[in-house]
Structure formats: structure tokens, C-alpha cells
Amino acid sequence: MGKTTTLKRFVRRLVESGERRVFYFSFDLERDNRAIRDVVMRAKRIHPDPEGPWYIFLDEVTSIPDWQLGIKYLWDAGAIRDDLVLCTGSSARKMGTERLPGRRGEGRDYVLLPMSFRAFCESVVGLDLPGETVEVTEWLMPAGRRLARQLYLNVEALTDAVEVYARIGGFPGAVRDYLRTGRVSDRTVRMFWDVVASDIQDAGYDKHSALRLLERVGVSLGSPVAWDNLKEAMGVGSHDTVRRYAHLLSESFVLLTVFHWAMGGAFEPSRQRKLYFLDPLFARLAPTLIPGGREPEGDGLLENLVAIALYASASDRLTLADALPGAIGYWKSRDGRETDFVAPTDAGRYGSDRIPVEVKGDAKRGISAARLSMRRSFGRGVVVTRRVFDLAEIPAILIGVFLAGLAARAERSEADP
């Protein structure tokens, strides 16, 4: 879904810059983890100038059972300790189940998410956006308000782009379809489902039950899910089975799980959770593949876009399935007042310092109620609207401006050596 092309671009840039120790290999046809050891060691043996750091790109490693053992062998043998090794695969679940603890040197996991709304605006729509971006709390500060005013100059284009992005999403195949025909073809949607279904079946789960789960998520976007309702919709026998399906689809980067957050600073996995799609295209899987399948509502899709952006801004974690410190959550008071999202700040990323974000339409009454609730409970907050733009103490920022100006965490931090 674009990763192989990205790797080959890295290789080309390195070679063009004069690097000599660059190696790329795809493991599509390999099934033995010893192949990873063999190809890397052989490449180093036959290279005319092997001494020094290497750039090693290993594509489709998840085709190999227990692929991590090949990397472990190379590390333990001292063969790659000075090298940059980048592994990719078609199964996000298999990439994330083992992170090689103690054998990653100065490295880190990079989550290559689909194209963000901001990138979509720049690359596909052709908008010339300001270079700077902000984290959520900065919308309350002079720099954030200044950026909001700058972005608002493109209000019509940003609003139109939101409507398109909510249908298309950010996967390269879907964007390519849109540029050619103005829509994403059913063939492309089915191709994405084939990738997801392969992960599901490989884990021993039923793809039809998973598809019914995705349909139910689509029609209930923004609401905490009840396992009983999902159990009936999926035709499975227990709450625990539903939970395992949701966990699997989150590990596979199809769903984003948002847990309830307690005011004291901890997540509460035992409470109902919210489920969103990691990319808008996944919302089309069930309506396309299930005869008479229900389409998500527009308001739910807009809230989903905010969930994706907040996740990318708040976390550089590989997993979307667990209630980890630094992830986004939602909050509900004892008297039933619910806040759509609570995002961590840089100051309290692993503590209790949170900023609430509410997604509303344009009704003055709804915006006022959201501001009052956030002021009482948190003393601050941000309201995201369809078109209302009002930089009050608790600002109302239309969604196109919010998405285009919010930084992804990877964009705010320097890459590890």
C-alpha cells in the first residue's frame, strides 16, 4: 500500500547522495527466517567495501513465520549493530507483536500512517499551507491563534477538502483512483479488504464476523460501544470474542481504540470504549461488501477524522489496541456529561495533564454547552466545528483548519540517529 515505493525512494536518494553500503531485499517468496540471515550476510561478504555502517531495507518480512528470529540472530552475532535496518510487512499485526527488546540499538518504531489531511491538501488539492504546525494546547496560545487565522484564509478550499478526504482517505491506491476518476473504485476497496481479511484469517478469526463488526463501528462512530450490541450484530457467542476481534483489528491498524480516561490520570479498560477507523477508506469496506450495508453518518465521519489526527499528534506508539500512557482517550462525568476526546499535552504526556476536544456542528447552543462543560471540568478546551470560527477563550475552530494545522508527533520530533 505504498511502503515498497517509499523504501525504493529511500534507496535511490541514498545512492544519489554517494552512499555505497545500501541493501534492499524483498522476502515475498521466502518462508524461512534463516533467509534474512543469509541474504544480509551474503551481501556484506560480496560487497567490495563492506566496512562501515550499512543502510539495510528488508521488505515484506511478515511473509516469513517468526521473522524476528532472523533479525535477532544478526544482532546477537554483531552483524548489524552499526547499521540502520528498516523492516516492513503487509501484516501490521505481525510487525507489532514482537519489538525485539534490547536488540534495537538507538532505533525506534516508525508508524507509517496513511496520508494525513494536511498532506492530502498539499499533495492532492495543491494548497499552499503555512509551514508551521501546532500541538493541541497551542491552539489556545498566540502562535496557534495566529496559525488558525492564516489557515482560515483558505476556508472554502479546506472545507471542500474535508468532504473529499472523508470519502477518499490517505492510502496511495485510493488517492490514485480519485485523481484518475474522482472516486475510489469498488475494486480498490475490495483489494484493501483482501489485505485485512488475510490478517484476520491468519489469526484464526472469521472474516465475515469481522466485516459485521466494521459495519457496526461505522454506524456508531462517536459512541462508546456496548459488547452486547456488537455480539448480536456479529453473530458470536460472547463478549470476550467481540473484544478479541476489536483488539485484532486494532493491532492490524484498521481500528483505533479510544479508552475511557479517569480524571485522576489513568485509563479504564473495563469501561466501554470508542472505536474509530484508522483511515476513512475502512469505513467503506462493509457498505461495499455487504449487500444493503449501512453507510456511516457524516457527523460520525468528521469525528473520526479528528480522532485520527489526535492519535497521530499524541502518540508515536506502534499499537492502537492498548490503553497506553500518552494515548488519547475520552471522558464521561458521573452526571453523564461526555467529552469526545482528552488529548495529552507535552508537559503531561504520561501523566494527568489533559486537554479536552469536542467535535460539534455549527449550532450555537451546542458550542456553548460544550464550552461550559469543558470550562467546568478542565478549565480549557477546543471545540471543532464544521464552519464556525471563533477564537474565544475556548476557541471554536472549523475542522479543516484544525486538521491542517495539527502536527503529527513524528513531525514535531527529530528522528533518532
Q: Give the distance between the most distant pair of CA atoms in the chain.
A: 72
Hey, is 56 helix, strand or coil? strand
Nearest to 108 by CA among 252, 317, 409, 322: 317
- Spatial CB neighbours of 90, under 8 Å, sequence gap ≥ 6: 1, 60, 62, 63, 195, 198
Sign of torsion over alpha carbons 117, 123, 126, 127:
positive
Report residue 374 as a C-alpha cell.
469543558
Q: Are 158 and 129 in contact (CB under 8 A)?
A: no
Q: Are 371 and 394 in contact (CB under 8 A)?
A: yes
Query: Distance of CA 166 to CAs 284, 299, 306, Å?
Result: 10, 10, 11
Domains, the chain, with CATH or none: 3-96 (3.40.50.300), 117-412 (no CATH)
| Residue-level pLDDT, tens digit, the chain, 417 residues | 467 888 888 899 999 999 999 999 999 888 899 999 999 999 999 999 999 999 999 998 888 888 989 998 999 999 998 999 988 876 666 665 445 555 555 555 556 678 999 999 999 999 999 999 999 999 999 999 999 999 999 999 999 999 999 999 999 899 999 999 999 999 999 999 998 998 899 889 999 999 999 999 999 999 999 888 899 889 898 989 999 999 999 888 899 999 999 887 788 888 899 999 999 999 999 999 999 888 999 899 999 999 999 998 886 554 566 767 678 999 998 888 899 999 988 654 445 689 999 999 999 999 999 999 999 999 999 999 999 999 999 999 999 999 999 998 744 333 332
Residue 416: its pLDDT value, please?
A: 33
Residue 90: its pLDDT value, please?
A: 67
Residue 165: its pLDDT value, please?
A: 97
Q: Are 21 and 14 in contact (CB under 8 A)?
A: no
Query: Distance of CA 291 to CAs 55, 241, 387, Å?
Result: 48, 25, 34
- Spatial CB neighbours of 139, under 8 Å, sequence gap ≥ 6: 145, 148, 382, 395, 397, 402, 405
**How many CB atoms lie under 10 A from the CB of residue 389?**
16
Residue 417: its pLDDT value, please?
A: 27
Q: Would you give the DSSP letter of residue 33? A: T
Q: What is the dihedral of CA 307, 312, 318, 323, to 10 degrees?
A: -40
Report residue 109 as a C-alpha cell.
518504531
Strands 329-332 and 338-344: antiparallel
Nearest to 314 by CA among 275, 343, 276, 340: 343
List the beta bridge partners of residue 26: 59
Report residue 5 as a C-alpha cell.
515505493
Residue 337: its pLDDT value, please?
A: 86
**How many CB atoms lie under 10 A from the CB of residue 168?**
24
Residue 194: its pLDDT value, please?
A: 92
